[in-house]
Amino acid sequence: MSKQPLIIFDTTLRDGEQSPGASMTRDEKVRIALMLEKLRVDVIEAGFAAASPGDFEAVKAVAESVTGSRVCSLARALDRDIEAAGEALAGAAQGRIHTFIATSPIHMQYKLQMSPEQVVERAVAAVQKARGLCDDVEFSCEDAGRSELDFLCRIVEAAIEAGASTINIPDTVGYALPVPFGEMVGELIRRVPNSDKAVFSVHCHNDLGLAVANSLAAVNAGARQVECTINGLGERAGNASLEEIVMAVRTRQDILDVETRIDATHIVPTSRLVSTVTGFPVQPNKAIVGKNAFAHESGIHQDGVLKHRETYEIMRAEDVGWHTNAIVLGKHSGRNAFRSRLDELGIQFASEAELNDAFALFKQLADKKHEIYDEDLQALVTDTRAAARAERFRLVAMEVTSKTGETPLARVVLGHDGEERRVEAQGSGPVDAVFKAIEQIADSQAELELYSVNAITSGTDSQGEVTVRLQKGGRIVNGLGADTDIVIASAKAYINALNALASRGARTHPQGVHEGP
């Protein structure tokens, strides 16, 4: 069965901009509008031309820059607002004037202080005025979600009669629930005698977190335009999110009779642009565009995704503009994901036992650190391999006391030729104290030529990677150690270098020759 088109009306630049703190300059609106055009949005509501000279200029600039989408301006049911909208849209390849008036008893009585009859009259006059300036006119019944159905039928019929070709039913305060809202929209379409002369639209707010659900319920009931915003930006708790509507429609083609023209591969870049321009970050668990929307950290899910992506993914990350999905290594990850990531890094294990040792170290590290990066894995494999060689010195335990005004003290337990030995030493700093304690056992007579510390990744929970270079009798060896505690990383690096000296002690080098991991 062929699908009917669902018109995607984006109001990021108008209702989205009504979020406190999200106002945009003319140039920012043009940048976002050009991105929305690329996304193949059908209608871009660029602003409210009568709101300010700046918004008038912004609507005008968007109207003159965009050709692939229809550009729209909002206007109250007042001549001056409608004239401003018409003037701002004059240069548009395809323009639309969107006029509105509230229809709920509470808004008519307290806000507009108008009778229902006056509201109908004003609506008709506004639509006629707009039609005189533009041949595409949308009429919205503000607060329709709390309006009486009989009154809605009356005003909608009159607005269509006056020339509106789109009738928008907003749930202005996010009060609706999906089933009754869908029923209301369906009933309106059935009862309005001239409903076939207009496209029915919905505009849902998210005060109860139901904006997308309510919009889809209305689509099921016959609405063929949805008003929405990128990242769900909008007044108070926001509007229905464009990316969620579009991907719900695309993903559930089995039960929805509509399709959109949207090129979903531009969704993530558009979301990023809107977030950067407005300074509103996208929460990590936001559907479609959140950083975690296609990321898997738990072992069972990772195993499933690696075996067959659809076990845990209902959409492809690439289809909405992500580079790829993500297997994030952390404390809930399992061996399959661990092995697979190391494979991708070109690291293979000689045996299952070596993999298990590395995996055990990985779990210990993951308990200390939120996310394990590739650099952490590389350091960890170096550590495992060093530990696997039957080495002369092995760090068993250590404790360092470092207090303001006191000389640092290190207590170290070192495995040495199969025995455990305890030593303690003071030093000018904690690392110096640890090295001195180790030297009490090793007595290497080596010279420390280099000591350097690097943060492997960013963040204060990053692992420190330490390089120690020792020189003895013309031989130079490097030792590496990594840990979230840089003093422990230093001890590991020093011991690693001592083991390198010890294991190659029989060989001599005429000049300084670098050896090490």
Ligand X SMILES: CC(C)C(=O)C(=O)O
Ligand Y SMILES: CC(=O)SCCNC(=O)CCNC(=O)[C@H](O)C(C)(C)COP(=O)(O)OP(=O)(O)OC[C@H]1O[C@@H](n2cnc3c(N)ncnc32)[C@H](O)[C@@H]1OP(=O)(O)O
Beta carbon of residue 172, minimum distance to ligand X (angstroms, whole number)? 3
Residues 6+ apart with CB under 8 A from 514: 476, 477, 478
Nearer to ligand Y, 142 or 244 (CB): 142
Nearer to ligand Y, 50 or 379 (CB): 50
What do you get for the CA distance between the two ends of the chain, in Å?
A: 64
Question: Which of ligand X, ligand Y, none does 300 bind, CB closer than 5 to 8 A by kind?
Answer: none
Residue 10 within binding range of ligand X, rule CB under 6 A: no
DSSP one-letter code for 370: S
- In the complex, which residue's CB is closest to ligand X? 170
User: Is the backbone of residue 445 left (phi > 0), alpha (psi -120 to 50) or beta?
Assistant: left
Nearer to ligand X, 205 or 331 (CB): 205
Nearer to ligand X, 141 or 497 (CB): 141
The answer to whether 37 and 69 are in contact (CB under 8 A) is: yes
CB atoms within 10 A of CB 23: 14
Residue 140 within binding range of ligand X, rule CB under 6 A: yes
Tell me, rounded to whole angstroms, the distance of Cα 216 from its chain centroid.
Answer: 23
Beta carbon of residue 64, minimum distance to ligand Y (angstroms, whole number)? 22
Question: Which of ligand X, ligand Y, none does 78 bind, CB closer than 5 to 8 A by kind?
Answer: ligand Y
Residue 83 within binding range of ligand X, rule CB under 6 A: no
Residue 100 within binding range of ligand X, rule CB under 6 A: yes
Beta carbon of residue 78, minimum distance to ligand Y (angstroms, whole number)? 5
- Annotated binding residue at 485? no
Nearer to ligand X, 140 or 241 (CB): 140
User: Using N-to-C axis directions, what is the helix angle for 352-368 and 374-388, rounded to 10°?
Assistant: 130
Q: CA–CA separation, 336 vs 136, rounded Å?
A: 57
Question: Which of ligand X, ligand Y, none does 361 bind, CB closer than 5 to 8 A by kind?
Answer: none
Beta carbon of residue 283, minimum distance to ligand X (angstroms, whole number)? 23
Question: Which of ligand X, ligand Y, none does 168 bind, CB closer than 5 to 8 A by kind?
Answer: ligand X
Amino acid letter for position 29: K
Question: Which of ligand X, ligand Y, none does 111 bind, CB closer than 5 to 8 A by kind?
Answer: ligand Y
Residue 232 within binding range of ligand X, rule CB under 6 A: no
Give contact residues for ligand Y (rule: CB under 6 A).
15, 18, 48, 50-51, 76-78, 100-101, 111-112, 142, 172, 235
Question: Which of ligand Y, ligand X, none does 432 bind, CB closer than 5 to 8 A by kind?
Answer: none
State which of positions 52-81 bind ligand X (CB under 6 A). Answer: 74
The answer to whether 177 and 216 are in contact (CB under 8 A) is: no
- Annotated binding residue at 205? yes
Q: Regarding beta strands 70-76 and 43-47, do their DSSP bridges make them parallel or antiparallel, or are they unpaired? A: parallel
Backbone angles phi, psi at 90, to 5 degrees: -55, -35
Beta carbon of residue 179, minimum distance to ligand Y (angstroms, whole number)? 24
Question: Which of ligand X, ligand Y, none does 112 bind, CB closer than 5 to 8 A by kind?
Answer: ligand Y
Question: Which of ligand Y, ligand X, none does 140 bind, CB closer than 5 to 8 A by kind?
Answer: ligand X
SS3 311: helix
The answer to whether 401 and 394 are in contact (CB under 8 A) is: no
Beta carbon of residue 15, minimum distance to ligand Y (angstroms, whole number)? 6
Q: Where are the beta strands (DSSP E) in 143-228?
A: 166-171, 199-204, 225-228
Task: Name residue, tokens 């909608």.
Answer: 156
SS3 511: coil
Residue 96 within binding range of ligand X, rule CB under 6 A: no
State which of positions 145-204 bind ligand X (CB under 6 A). Answer: 168, 170, 172, 203
The length of the chain in residues reads 517
CB atoms within 10 A of CB 440: 13
State which of positions 238-297 bind ligand X (CB under 6 A). Answer: none
Q: Which of 114, 140, 139 is nearest to 129 (CA)?
A: 139
Beta carbon of residue 27, minimum distance to ligand Y (angstroms, whole number)? 20
- Annotated binding residue at 203? yes
Beta carbon of residue 139, minimum distance to ligand Y (angstroms, whole number)? 10
The answer to whether 296 and 302 are in contact (CB under 8 A) is: yes
Question: Which of ligand X, ligand Y, none does 203 bind, CB closer than 5 to 8 A by kind?
Answer: ligand X
Beta carbon of residue 177, minimum distance to ligand Y (angstroms, whole number)? 20
Backbone angles phi, psi at 187, to 5 degrees: -65, -40
Element (DSSP H or E) covering residue 342: helix 335-344
- Annotated binding residue at 370? no
Q: CA–CA separation, 340 vs 201, rounded Å?
A: 48
Structure tokens at 372: 């394990």
DSSP string, 265-286: GGHHHHHHHHHHHHT-PPPTT-
Alpha-carbon distances of 48 from 84, 302, 346, rounded to whole Å: 9, 47, 56
Q: CA–CA separation, 241 vs 231, rounded Å?
A: 6
Beta carbon of residue 170, minimum distance to ligand Y (angstroms, whole number)? 7
Nearer to ligand X, 16 or 430 (CB): 16
Nearer to ligand X, 232 or 464 (CB): 232
Q: Which of 215, 219, 218 is nearest to 256 (CA)?
A: 219
Residue 15 within binding range of ligand X, rule CB under 6 A: yes
Residue 142 within binding range of ligand X, rule CB under 6 A: yes
Residue 48 within binding range of ligand X, rule CB under 6 A: no
Nearer to ligand X, 83 or 143 (CB): 143
Q: Which residues are annotated as a binding site for Mn(2+)?
A: 15, 203, 205, 239
Binding residues vs ligand X (CB under 6 A)? 15, 74, 100, 140, 142, 168, 170, 172, 203, 205
Q: Which residues are annotated as a binding site?
A: 15, 203, 205, 239
